[in-house]
Structure 1
């Protein structure tokens, strides 16, 4: 389908008005796409002027009256309004001009509280204006206009302004709001019963695996290598000075990709078996079409397409590592990974029509990385919504963990950053090529204002840049056939990725990043040598904390002049083009390795607040074993997440703190993180001038923070006190996760309430199942419980307080709405009642102790077992038996349930897990794809018409018949060896 791609962001009211006028005649998705949303002229006049203003429209078949009925139905905003995340109090039922109300929303994944005032209300229009965190002002106007032919044109006008989010950050937020508006209009059409958006992209086709070519002789090493060994054959970087005019992100990305192709002495890529991967730009959004646009501009026909998540600096290495993995398994021959930002051009020149692109997008690209929200409710309440605040807190926590004084720590991080500026001064692609001293970096000045202690501006990522970078990867066979000189080859040895405890305030300690340590350990095991032995290193460097904490985890020295921790100069000096920095980092590491034959390089990346991490290891030497993209996070052993609160009355011990500054350089607020005796983390924010002054003059780590009508702090400079609390408040997780090779054992761990499921446990179960599904080596799981009961269902006390155990993706109880695709076995001891029985029924196989009982007692409480219990009984039992269990609510003993065919085996009391392990042991040796497809047929056949059933099962089974695992299974049988399954 033909798509016209446009995005509008602005930096000034006059620019906004001019740009709105310039886009009136161009739709985002093509005027021929009936029902699609398109840019429109704002139809609403707001009481105040906004620095960012835009409008989106769509045509619907409903009447204006029907449209406005839905617009004013606030109780159902969650059905269509993408930004909406709930009402802090009952939603408005009727409105008048001047009425006020509050709304919870999520912008760029961040929870915010918006306070609205109704400024316009007519029969066919509504306007609300309000405020949000960080002094932000916003407005939403909705109008319903009769269409010329029939139906209604719905126009949504948005305004946004924040003095704290000027320049690029304001443009990013505006772009996110525009994207959400487009999505909301698509949802609104569905709510009205209109057909779904005709521009929806088809699913990405599955790759075809050809026969493997002959091995390739690698002349520099004198070794013969697997033909599907991934090698980087070209890198390219571009830095543009906006004094020379405006360049848009796609132009920069194309230029970087072309340089990478030229570097590979291979100016064009073949039409088939080439993947084009892009890192999403934030200065100008191309949506899901960015990779297709890049392929079109590079004249690559029929490419495979991939993109990383919309937000996250880990994206480039996730794309590189996944492409290397696809090459390793014969799915593609070439891959180009490219990205760029043009915030400098945007700030200097604004935008124009040349930033638009037409393209044909054949299918939805492969999406890599997580777009999960970055903040929880407590962080929102405290205003922890920007990286500078989060990293300021984490840096001070690191100082406390190390026992450093304020002066000593400042000297270390400014000296570290001075070394980075030295590297940047010698990097031809760096944005700031000036060697600075530690004093230059740490001393606040008019041009180097304080941001959040301990950081000045010269210790933060510089996103106002015009930069692009690209990497080209090929299989050894494809590179050899294309004639790319082997001196250009840099082998991709391994990649890895992992997440921290997702929300910063819930991490066990704020001063450490154990996921990076887990990545280092996994890479070391795969490489057969310490990852710290790498000769050339580029650690992601948005803030000093990111480098300092990662270096500690990877056993890297901070001050070895022979082994600097950057090859670019870092995001402050080399430049920080948001999502795409790590492409520059890997390109620079690759160039350094290539210039030193026999050497090894390490590049790392992270996203959000040191939340999601990735790493890549490269060398001019061939790898000792096949490349792997290691999913490390799924098997990390983490302490239980800390409970966190933003409301506490009483005292606690200050763990860390930061003073934030306004754009004019004046202290604005102090934010504390303090630990209660039981390990709960209390985060708070104060604008009290005396408290701010105290935080600037005194080391408050280990001080007593008190809230009894007013926030006060006493004492300080006691890091040992804090470290003692941190180390002594390790709690058992509510869900224990144990790995035994391909087997994952999940154990419900709330024996004090008979393993009843609360919201926290439901979320933990969902995450554990997601990890199990994502782990390429995981084959089968067992779900069991600690103590005398398997599970007795929902935690009714928590539910009575409004905390229902509903996970966002897998539904009630964290599993019943969407069980895993991989096989899972329930090992039941004691009672599996109510939701506990439903959880067992959501599993594929059940092993139960002889004295175990199953039952759905919901009718005794006026309820229905709606988490799949009644439904699954009806699917698996004769109608009279299903009704007996559903209507009587009486428990049934395991032997009887076994006779009915609901469970697979009855075990002696205390041995259910042992028997479940034995059953899992019979499943685990089999091909994972075959298991998944067999399970799919068993689960879906009920809905197939009799005359289509055989054909449908054949269609599903054929995926296995033509898979690499089928070839491997036949070969292993012939060669009398154990198969090496890949799941492909």
Structure 2
């Protein structure tokens, strides 16, 4: 029989007590160390959700610390005091929001072959003394019971807390500032710092020499050695980030890397499957987590073994590299991907990065008015300068300087691949390379004794996305997204581009470098400030998604040797599509690190695109693809038609230069199908196809989805108004486009770019004229409808043998009496706004022409209220239909508790406001 539980006499008994126990197959000392180790808290305590301040490295009697927990699904902050501490017991007193008091008495005792763990305690005060009390106590007890059950299944075979391999920091609360010795400035202890830098290049293609994770582990070992201290920060990391590899795909590469280097992180993060922006997105994301106190030590790595994989494929030998069980996934995946090509691009053979960047290259030549020879000279001189940087980079794949003449010469080693590019003007992906960074807080760096001369501060990061499909961009030679991220990082750091001494622009193809330099205001031929310190993806090597990981490593080395200087890295994903930037320096930042989403309020002009239109236009760009023997294979041409649309044509290989004549100006793009306006907290989204009664085609659906996504992400946007330009709100789906196979369905929000997933924030539809078919469904997807008195609403799909497939019939059935919903669905005849207002579907009916103004005023009145209260009230209305009577008030209390648990909630102030309103 197990030993009886220890006698527990907590110094204070709270009004709603509990007593729980569980047997654990491990010695008491190890169990108690596990229970009181903040780094292991997330492993067993199901309520734990993070630390708002520095986590305590060890509990000390009298010590104080803050913890984030979830109570009834609501995130709240509890401030703990360690009242008592011995070899077998821990007594904690805590205070939460609104005067809630919690007491926890934890004790361990030897049992048969293990340990009996007992939790005693209770809760009182604030709302727990009222009608919510039993619910709070029950929820807390169930969470603790689940925690003990998880503890019973825990693995106690690993290294114990305080092992020699682990750096232990004893901090009870966020410490004071840290003095930066060289500059004399005081810095926040949670300032992120890059302290370890490592790279690896493996020339052999023997599979035993390493899969990507093995290469990354070697780079991480180099990064650990780079720190020059006794403590091993690698094994102490709480977060591991992995840049997804292409040559061998791991479900959770970060977990494999952590296992290989001896780390036991609480979180793993992996970038999306494809995208050279991944390394900077990952560094920026984890630096921001460190600055918020959510992480202390993060490992970041990426690697490719593409040269080995290609050699194995040529030899017909399978690769016996690590795999992971089905269902394995990282804690979080960073970034998103979608289909990279639209139908017109695919049909024309425009399908690979080489094709797109070559097409863009010739668009640049046309814009600049250069001959073929002049343009070749320009890009080979640019690429020669990159080879010079690679020649001095010990980790570069091709460490050889190439002259412009060598790069321009077509021969067996430099064959034409896609005009105007030869092999040595294109990215080289068949490499075996890895990079690794160790990033921590300044507090950790100081406590570990890392020499400040090794510290590199990330100052700011930013990311943005251009129009996803290349041929839908208004101008192939511009990148609004690069311009936006450049402006964002410079504004945040209060620098100009001239203040940046070291640069590493993402250099997969010459067109990418030229566009980035232009958007950032950089000359491409400044001998005093080259555009790379790494060498570009041709010469330094293009390790799948991870080139920018090497950019960061090389920038850090340069900055260490030039204290006080600044460095800027940029990165690109897909076809000049996804962009990221990071600014670094040995000088500490002037403010808190930020990872800026520059997508918000970014203007991206677009063109509509078609395949092989029966009309001719002005040749905008072209390329020719070549076979491996150097013979031309096919041509691809884009033309701009008189109406500003673009056509993509697959052609025979072009004979001669289509730009021989003096280039004429290209017709401007047409009006965008969706227009967004920002008016303080109110975002206005306008369907902008009045010529076709605002019918929704694929471009419109995508534009609407993006507008909703950015409205959701915009911290300053509270309410949106959806309306239409012209006399009609929306006639529904564009049937002509659908007949061409162009259906308005988006990956994220479904049919019409909205109806499958309306926004969480309030959306108001302002309807003039009519909302028919899909137009009615868009209005029904909104939270409120304001309509002009002559507006008509209907779902005429039944007349065409169809059903309103975007949720219209379902939403009508839930919102209207059954007979009315059936009348609309079965007859297809429209109903006037006034009747639907009387039935409660429409909120307000206005004079003709006043629907938008009324909807806007309604949005302003909603936006004036606290945002969290508005969101949660909307959530209750949206979700209550799925609740049973028995559970309704539990759900209601859980949701309302989010407001009550928020730091901004002031209960006395709320009561005073209510009294004023009643009077």
* TM-score calculated relative to the size of structure 2: 0.75
- Larger Rg: 1 or 2? 2
Matches within 5 A, 1:559-598: 559-598=525-564
Aligned to 1:264: 227
Whole-Å Cα distance in 2 between the matches of residues 841 and 514 of structure 1? 34
CA distance in 1, matches of 2:799, 2:351: 46
SS of alignment partner, residue 256 of structure 2: helix
Return the match for 1:551 from 517, 520, 540: 517
Give, in angstroms, the shift of residue 569 of structure 1.
1.0
Give the structure 2 partner of residue 673 of structure 1.
Answer: 638
- The yes-or-no answer on 1:274 pairing with 2:238 is yes
Q: How much does 1:398 deviate? A: 0.4
Q: 1:426 to 1:876 in 2, by over 3 A?
A: same
Q: Report the CA distance between 1:538 and its aligned residue.
A: 0.3
Map 1:277-288 onto structure 2 (within 5 A): 277-286=241-250, 288=251
Question: Are 1:224 and 2:168 counterparts?
Answer: no
Pick from 620, 629, 651: which aligns with 1:655? Answer: 620
- 1:492 equivalent in structure 2: 458
Distance 1:222 1:385 in 2: 54
Which of 659, 662, 665 lines up with 1:718 in the alignment? Answer: 662
Taking the aligned partners of 2:263 and 2:895, their CA distance within structure 1 comes to 32
User: Residue in 2 aligned with 1:685?
Assistant: 650
For residue 205 of structure 1, what is the aligned residue in structure 2?
none
What SS is found at the alignment partner of 1:613? Answer: strand
For residues 827 and 530 of structure 1, do their structure 2 counterparts lie closer, same or farther at Cα, with a shift above 3 Å needed? farther
Which residues in structure 2 correspond to 1:879-898 (within 5 Å)?
A: 879-883=818-822, 885-886=824-825, 889=828, 891-898=830-837
Distance 1:859 1:683 in 2: 37
| Maintained 8 Å contact 2:291/2:593 | yes
Task: Note the alpha carbon deviations across 1:781-810, whole angstroms, 9 max, x for none.
Answer: 221111122223233444455544333332
The corresponding residue for 1:829 is 768
Partner Cα separation in structure 2 for residue 296 and residue 775 of structure 1: 38
User: Does structure 1 retain, via aligned residues, the 8 Å contact 2:683–2:721?
Assistant: yes
Could you list the per-position Cα deviations for residues 330-355 of structure 1 after superposition, in whole angstroms to 9, with x for gaps in the alignment? 32222211110112223445666662
- Aligned twin of 1:523: 489
Deviation at 1:359, TM superposition (A): 8.0
Contact persistence 2:234–2:262 (CA under 8 A): no
Partner of 2:504: 538
Distance 1:441 1:734 in 2: 44
**2:868 is equivalent to residue 868 of structure 1:** no
Q: Structure 1 stretch 527-536 or stretch 847-856: which is displaced more?
A: 847-856
**Unaligned stretches of 5+ residues in structure 1:** 1-209, 702-715, 977-984
More deviation in 337-346 or 225-234? 225-234
In structure 2, distance between residues paired with 1:640 and 1:748:
15
Change (3 A) 1:792 1:686: closer
What secondary structure is seen at the aligned counterpart in 2 of 1:470?
A: strand
Correspondent of 2:273 among 287, 291, 310: 310
In structure 1, how many angstroms separate the alpha carbons of the residues matched to 2:441 and 2:408? Answer: 46
**Shift of residue 961 of structure 1?**
5.6
In the alignment, the residues of structure 1 paired with residue 908 and residue 536 of structure 2 have an alpha-carbon distance, to the nearest angstrom, of: 49
Could you say which residue in structure 2 is the equivalent of 1:127? Answer: none
Helix, strand or coil: the match of 1:340?
A: strand
Judged with a 3 Å threshold, the aligned counterparts in structure 2 of structure 1 residues 672 and 943 are, in CA distance, closer, same or farther, namely: same
- Aligned partner of 1:627 in structure 2 is 593
| Alignment counterpart, residue 700 of structure 1, candidates 658, 677, 681 | 658
- In the aligned structure 2, how far is the partner of 1:776 from the partner of 1:232? 29
Q: Aligned residue for 2:692?
A: 753
Match of 1:68 in 2: none
**1:862: how far off?**
5.3
- 1:587-625 alpha-carbon deviations (Å, 9 max, x no partner): 111222222111111101111111111111112222233
Q: What is the CA-CA distance between 1:586 and the residue it aligns to?
A: 1.4
1:811 and 1:314 map into 2 onto residues whose CA distance is 27
**What are the within-5 Å matches in structure 2 for residues 405-484 of structure 1?**
405-484=371-450
CA distance in 1, matches of 2:615, 2:853: 48
Distance 1:443 1:797, change over 3 A: closer
SS in 2 for 1:665: coil
Residues 305 and 766 (structure 1), Cα distance of their counterparts in 2 relative to 1, 3 Å cut: same
Change (3 A) 1:352 1:382: closer
Q: How does 1:91-130 map to 2 (within 5 A)?
A: none
Shift of 1:867: 2.4
How far apart in 2 are the matches of 1:776 and 1:618? Answer: 26
The residue matched to 1:635 in structure 2 has which SS? coil
CA distance in 1, matches of 2:293, 2:896: 21
Offset at residue 563 of structure 1 (A): 0.7
Structure-2 change in CA distance of 1:521 and 1:272 (3 Å): same
C-alpha distance in 2 between matches for 1:969 and 1:300: 40
2:729–2:768: 8 Å Cα contact kept in structure 1?
yes
Contact 2:252 2:329 in 1 (8 A): no
CA contact (8 A) 1:338 1:468 kept: yes
Q: Does 1:600 align with 2:550?
A: no
Q: Which residue of 2 aligns with 1:739?
A: 678
CA contact (8 A) 1:236 1:256 kept: yes
Cα 1:334–1:971 change in 2 (3 A) is: farther
Of 359-368 and 455-464, more deviation after overlay is shown by 359-368
Q: Return the offset for 1:249.
A: 0.8
Between 226-235 and 836-845, the greater mean CA deviation after superposition:
226-235
**Aligned residue pairs, count:** 736
CA contact (8 A) 2:607 2:646 kept: no
Change (3 A) 1:776 1:576: farther
Aligned CA distance change for structure 1 residues 897 and 321 (closer, same or farther; 3 Å) = same
Q: 1:670 to 1:318 in 2, by over 3 A?
A: same
CA, structure 1 residues 272+955, in 2 after alignment: closer, same or farther (shift >3 Å)? farther
Distance 2:253 2:641 in 1: 48
Distance in 2 (alpha carbons) for counterparts of 1:539 and 1:892:
58
Q: CA–CA distance in 1 between the matches of 2:734 and 2:310? A: 53
Equivalent residue in structure 1 for 2:262, among 299, 304, 320: 299
**Equivalent residue, structure 1, for 2:18:** none
- Secondary structure (helix, strand or coil) at the match of 1:673 reads strand
Partner SS for 2:633: strand
1:1-400 → structure 2 map (5 Å cutoff): 212-242=174-204, 246-265=209-228, 268-269=232-233, 274-286=238-250, 288-348=251-311, 355-356=321-322, 364-400=330-366
Confirm whether residue 815 of structure 1 aligns to residue 783 of structure 2: no
Matched, 1:913 2:871: no
Is the 8 Å Cα contact of residues 396 and 511 (structure 1) preserved in structure 2? no
Tell me the equivalent position of 1:640.
Answer: 606
1:935 is matched with 874
Q: For the residues of structure 1 that align with 2:610 and 2:530, how far apart are their CA atoms?
A: 37
Q: Aligned in 2, Cα 1:407/1:866: closer, same or farther, shift over 3 Å? A: closer
| Structure 1 contact 271–303 (Cα < 8 Å) conserved | no
**5+ long unaligned stretches in structure 2:** 1-171, 913-919
Measured after TM superposition, the shift of residue 847 of structure 1 is 2.7
- Deviation of 1:233 after TM superposition, in Å, equals 2.0
Query: How far did 1:451 drift?
Result: 1.4
Q: Distance in 2 between matches of 1:759 and 1:337?
A: 38
Partner of 1:402: 368
Q: CA deviation at 1:485?
A: 2.9
- Superposed displacement of residue 554, structure 1: 0.7
1:841-868 alpha-carbon deviations (Å, 9 max, x no partner): 1011223334434344445555543422
Instruction: State whether residues 272 and 303 of structure 1, in contact with CA within 8 Å, keep that contact through their aligned partners in structure 2.
Output: no
Whether 1:772 and 2:698 are equivalent positions in the alignment is: no
